[in-house]
């Protein structure tokens, strides 16, 4: 009759419970017992001051020219002084990042959810997904510019193409983490396939989905900045090329500082979401 059932397994290392993919890889900030006292905060700040001050001092003592490495103080001054000029470009980059990421993430999530329901379809599309994941989407930007011009469109497409596959493979890994006992539990109450998806598979996949979204967002940022460097007259990437061509290194590093802050914010955002919605894993 029907031999398609899987042998019920209750292995000790439950692959389904996701000890293998915890959000601890996101928890660099929360590593250790956490910051408790004011003394610890003071110590951390003191070390930072010593390092930055040391760099400042060394650069000035050895007369390192500005075009090689500007001292931290002039970077800070440039950031403060030029920020009104840089701010609109930050806005453009954010627009590209957010809209491209949203498109890529939605398409990636839907594709992951659909494909994992059909193992055979998954086998067919797997190689193409692999190509999408491993190809740097920046390579397509010149082509996209030829087709769509120097506006937002080619950049948003590039960001979506970079973020989507990352979201997809991670979400698919999440959706594939089948815990047969939990699905059996739902089925024992007569759950439909849709109910099993929303009440078992989706919450189980959530931690992996969040990891995918975070990686996707970081890749999206990289691609947005890269695409701006290739062509077009606006965006933080464009500022980088323009400041470096004018050898305005303090301004250049101010933009770099903004970019790393953006990256850290993405990281922290998903870390906090994970802490709120996927903390059951740890």
Partner 1 sequence: MSTASARTPKLGVQAATKVYQTSSGDLLALDRCSLDVQPNEIVSIVGPSGCGKTTLLWSMSGLHRLTGGAILLDGKEVTGPRPEIGIVFQEANLLPWRNLDANINFPFEIKGEKPDRAWIAHLLHRVGLDGFGGKFPRELSGGMQQRAAIVRALALKPSVLLMDEPFGALDSFTREEMNRLVEEIWLDTKTTIVFITHSIEEAIFLSDRVVVLTTRPGRVAKIYDVPFPRPRSLEIMGTKEVFDLTNRIKMDIVGERRPKAQEQPEHKSAEIVRIRP
Q: Which residues bind partner 1 (CB under 8 A)?
A: 1-8, 10, 17, 181-182, 184-191, 195, 199-200, 203-204, 206, 278, 280-281
CB of 203 to partner 1, least distance (A): 5
Q: Quick one: which of 152, 272, 257 has its CA closest to 214? A: 272
CB nearer to partner 1: give 17 or 40.
17
Q: Quick one: which of 267, 257, 255, 263 has its CA closest to 221? A: 263
Sign of CA dihedral 158, 160, 166, 169: negative
Burial letters for 164-179: b for 16+ Cβ neighbours within 10 Å, e otherwise?
Answer: bbbbbbbbbbbbbbbb
Residue with tokens 């970081």: 218
CB of 30 to partner 1, least distance (A): 17
CB nearer to partner 1: give 10 or 120.
10
CB nearer to partner 1: give 7 or 68.
7
CB of 21 to partner 1, least distance (A): 14
CB nearer to partner 1: give 261 or 279.
279
CB of 208 to partner 1, least distance (A): 13
Residues whose CB is less than 8 angstroms from the CB of residue 44 and which lie 6 or more positions away in sequence, other chains included: 35
């Amino acid at each position: 009759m029907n031999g398609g059932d899987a042998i019920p397994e209750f292995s000790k290392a439950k692959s389904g419970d996701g000890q293998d993919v915890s959000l601890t890889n996101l928890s660099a900030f929360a590593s250790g017992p956490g910051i408790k006292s004011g003394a610890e905060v003071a110590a951390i700040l003191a070390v930072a001051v010593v390092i930055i001050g040391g760099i400042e001092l060394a650069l000035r003592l050895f007369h390192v020219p500005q075009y090689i490495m500007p001292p931290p103080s002039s970077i800070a001054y440039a950031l403060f002084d030029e920020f009104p000029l840089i701010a609109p470009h930050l806005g453009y980059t954010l627009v590209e990042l957010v809209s491209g990421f949203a498109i890529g993430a939605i398409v990636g999530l839907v594709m992951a959810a659909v494909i994992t329901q059909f193992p055979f379809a998954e086998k067919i599309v797997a190689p193409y997904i692999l190509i999408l994941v491993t190809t740097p989407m920046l390579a397509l930007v010149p082509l996209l510019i030829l087709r769509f011009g120097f506006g937002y469109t080619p950049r948003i497409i590039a960001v979506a193409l970079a973020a989507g596959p990352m979201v997809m493979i991670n979400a698919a890994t999440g959706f594939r983490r089948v815990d047969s006992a939990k699905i059996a539990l739902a089925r024992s109450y007569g759950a439909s396939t849709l109910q099993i998806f929303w009440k078992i598979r989706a919450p189980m996949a959530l931690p992996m989905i969040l990891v995918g979204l975070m990686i996707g967002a970081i890749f999206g940022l990289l691609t947005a900045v890269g695409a701006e460097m290739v062509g077009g007259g606006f965006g933080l990437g464009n500022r980088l090329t323009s400041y470096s061509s004018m050898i305005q290194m303090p301004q250049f590093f101010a933009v770099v500082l903004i970019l790393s802050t953006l990256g850290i914010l993405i990281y922290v955002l998903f870390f906090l979401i994970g802490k709120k919605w996927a903390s059951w894993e740890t």
